[in-house]
Structure 1
């Protein structure tokens, strides 16, 4: 009898979880890159067939993939380079946070010229993570060692601030109106940054010790956050100063988060080795498991119709049709 009751409870739990999941229809496409490169972050330039950039963290290079042919090339970024984040800036160039060089790096998309802005020496090793641009074309970045900063490429002026709560600043994003927010993994919070004064204001999610890892804004300026420790996705609405949270299916570990142009939310779940799409309207999850073990997708970015990630564990990039 006890066994029957346990079986019934297990079946009910499975049915509840299954109700929030739909099967993936669109199959992922994979693109091999250099063996041992450990691609960490990825950024697709706007436009179908345009280059896709990735940071080859282990080899100190920026990778450039031609998705039409599958061919790639890699650009050395400098001595001791260990690039982490990459985004495509408003100038169309890839911009990089380079933890090894303790610097912000830009690579010219045509000439491949590498320009390096080192952090002030007094900062020390920041453990640079990710970056974003504000409406004035300034670069904002995070350092997991307990820092966030701002670079004005026009003047090369750089300012670095100590993060409230110390170590942890990780993902960072800009809203359509130009507001900047970052997530603190070790600090278990997000923070709003005043882009003129540099003051960061901590915003606490409802779930404690959640491990807020990455963060992204949707078209309405709502802030989506991946919770690494608790396997949830959170949404903060600055207009109402309110939160909502959803648990990913299973014993999840949500690493990255990105919101596409249709306001669908994309996450990566290391526990099930899959990319996960969440529809905030239907509150349904759709999973795209990798066809190889230990994919370890640490970040996602994309463009119209395409969601891109980097399988750091398999030395390849992955694209899922964002439809």
Structure 2
């Protein structure tokens, strides 16, 4: 573990962003989108977002090597330097109210205490010098699990700081990861085209094959019933797997050439999917089995991840250096 002082890490940006508010097509009566350009002195390469406990929103600045914090009340952005060589990919809120970051550039998990903004870095073992860290999730016991696209699955025990690694089934590809309401951990293999469940005791993963071959399972998210929703980058489908029944269902996204990237299930079990092909975000209602389109107002938005809190769905636009939110009743 390596501790980094707050003075070394913190850069405060006092410039305010200008917010734009848009009604969203047929969904205008149900939801509105608000967007802000990131007011930073350099491009951040915003990648993932996570609502922070103080009402702000964390984001990973993959290009500049920072954890960002965005204040939707003022439009102000703040950047916290993560160290030399940093290129963070994912960020989530931990049970300790801290931001936990998968930093591919430093090959480490970085914890940013909040609101103190103190940093602690947990370097991966020498056995995985280039893990290509992607995303992370906490299980029901407060243990952090994470993916490395080079072909590793990792476990970090926060109480001890110990990291253990397992080779992923079939090698490279681990990308998205999530926890179910029961505390289990599932991950998706982009290169392998499958999802897998982790045995939390042994750390080994059991592969579950989707019915569509080579579909490019990119991200995975659980709904309130423990069903897994998968964005299939190559097939253009949104798929659902029910572990209790070992049953799959799939829905093709509307449009000529859909490219589902991110998937997120909100507090009402509505499923949100970003679509690079349509430059849009879709809301899927599993009860009606209908998609609703939320067009993004800037070309090439490239929303690579979605996360939210009740009534809010946050979207990082890595292609335009904006951060957006869709608010619904």
Q: TM-score, normalised by structure 2?
A: 0.90
* Structure whose CA Rg is larger: 1
- 1:113 paired to 2:118: yes
The 3-state SS of whatever aligns with 1:123 is coil
CA contact (8 A) 2:32 2:328 kept: no
Q: Which residue of 2 aligns with 1:302?
A: 308
Runs of 4+ in 1 over 4 A off after TM superposition: none
Q: Displacement of 1:309 after TM fit?
A: 1.2
> Following the alignment from structure 1 to structure 2, what is the Cα–Cα distance between the partners of residues 145 and 170?
9
Q: Which residue of 2 aligns with 1:4?
A: none
Q: Which residue of 2 aligns with 1:227?
A: 232
Q: What CA RMSD, in Å, does the superposition of the two structures yield over aligned residues?
A: 1.1
> Following the alignment from structure 1 to structure 2, what is the Cα–Cα distance between the partners of residues 209 and 104?
30
> Following the alignment from structure 1 to structure 2, what is the Cα–Cα distance between the partners of residues 51 and 134?
24
Q: Which residue of 2 aligns with 1:10?
A: none
Q: TM-score, normalised by structure 1?
A: 0.91
Q: Which residue of 2 aligns with 1:17?
A: none
Q: Displacement of 1:23 after TM fit?
A: 2.4
> Following the alignment from structure 1 to structure 2, what is the Cα–Cα distance between the partners of residues 201 and 64?
36
> Following the alignment from structure 2 to structure 1, what is the Cα–Cα distance between the partners of residues 57 and 248?
33
Q: Which residue of 1 aligns with 2:265?
A: 259
Q: Decide which of 187, 198, 216 is 1:211's aligned counterpart.
A: 216
> Following the alignment from structure 1 to structure 2, what is the Cα–Cα distance between the partners of residues 168 and 23?
37
> Which consecutive unaligned segments of at least 5 residues does structure 1 have?
1-21
Aligned pair count reads 300
Correspondence 1:90-169 to 2 at 5 A: 90-169=95-174
> Following the alignment from structure 2 to structure 1, what is the Cα–Cα distance between the partners of residues 82 and 196?
30
Q: Displacement of 1:322 after TM fit?
A: 3.8
- 1:63 paired to 2:68: yes
**Which range moves more in the overlay, 49-58 or 298-307?**
49-58
> Following the alignment from structure 2 to structure 1, what is the Cα–Cα distance between the partners of residues 218 and 173?
9
Q: Which has the higher helix share?
A: 1
> Following the alignment from structure 1 to structure 2, what is the Cα–Cα distance between the partners of residues 64 and 145?
29
> Following the alignment from structure 1 to structure 2, what is the Cα–Cα distance between the partners of residues 189 and 280?
22
> Following the alignment from structure 1 to structure 2, what is the Cα–Cα distance between the partners of residues 160 and 126?
10
CA contact (8 A) 1:45 1:303 kept: no
Q: Decide which of 37, 44, 47 is 2:51's aligned counterpart.
A: 44
Q: Which residue of 1 aligns with 2:286?
A: 280
Change over 3 Å in CA distance of 1:187–1:73 after alignment to 2: same
> Which consecutive unaligned segments of at least 5 residues does structure 2 have?
1-24
The 3-state SS of whatever aligns with 1:297 is coil
CA contact (8 A) 1:28 1:318 kept: yes
